[in-house]
Amino acid sequence: EAGVAQSPRYKIIEKRQSVAFWCNPISGHATLYWYQQILGQGPKLLIQFQNNGVVDDSQLPKDRFSAERLKGVDSTLKIQPAKLEDSAVYLCASSLGGTGGAYEKLFFGSGTQLSVL
């Protein structure tokens, strides 16, 4: 079974530039998540999609971050303009149904490591 695919693996940009990350979830998974992981900390949820609708974006800095999931499959996360504090690993995850049942497991990709200089 193919896992969650993310690209690029690494990205280096200067502050005030824009950047985009791409995620392809596991086939058939209705729910997609974007997490931000700053060095030394656990992942923090940015946004959750159920199919192509947003379920939770309460921690997404909407003045600079945006995300979309067209057709309920692939997703892109964009930062514009980037700040130094956005340096982090951006993880995408997917799960089967998003109903949050006891057996709901999240499957994570390997992430995109962003460095903002």
Partner 1 sequence: DAKTTQPPSMDCAEGRAANLPCNHSTISGNEYVYWYRQIHSQGPQYIIHGLKNNETNEMASLIITEDRKSSTLILPHATLRDTAVYYCIVRVAFSSTLTFGKGTMLLVSP
Binding residues for partner 1, rule: CB under 8 A, are: 4, 31, 40-45, 48, 56, 91, 93, 95, 98-102, 104-111
Nearest distance from C-beta of residue 78 to partner 1, angstroms: 20
In the complex with partner 1, the residue whose CB is nearer, 15 or 44, is: 44
In the complex with partner 1, the residue whose CB is nearer, 19 or 23, is: 23
In the complex with partner 1, the residue whose CB is nearer, 98 or 116, is: 98
Residue with tokens 């956005």, as numbered in its chain? 86
For 68, the token pair is 């979309």
Nearest distance from C-beta of residue 52 to partner 1, angstroms: 16
In angstroms, rounded to a whole number, what is the distance separating the alpha carbons of residues 93 and 80? 22
Q: What are phi and psi of 107, to 5 degrees?
A: -115, 125
Nearest distance from C-beta of residue 66 to partner 1, angstroms: 20
In the complex with partner 1, the residue whose CB is nearer, 76 or 113, is: 113
What number of other Cβ atoms are within 10 A of residue 10's Cβ?
11
Contact between 34 and 25 under an 8 Å Cβ cutoff? The reply is: no
Nearest distance from C-beta of residue 102 to partner 1, angstroms: 6
Contact between 106 and 94 under an 8 Å Cβ cutoff? The reply is: yes
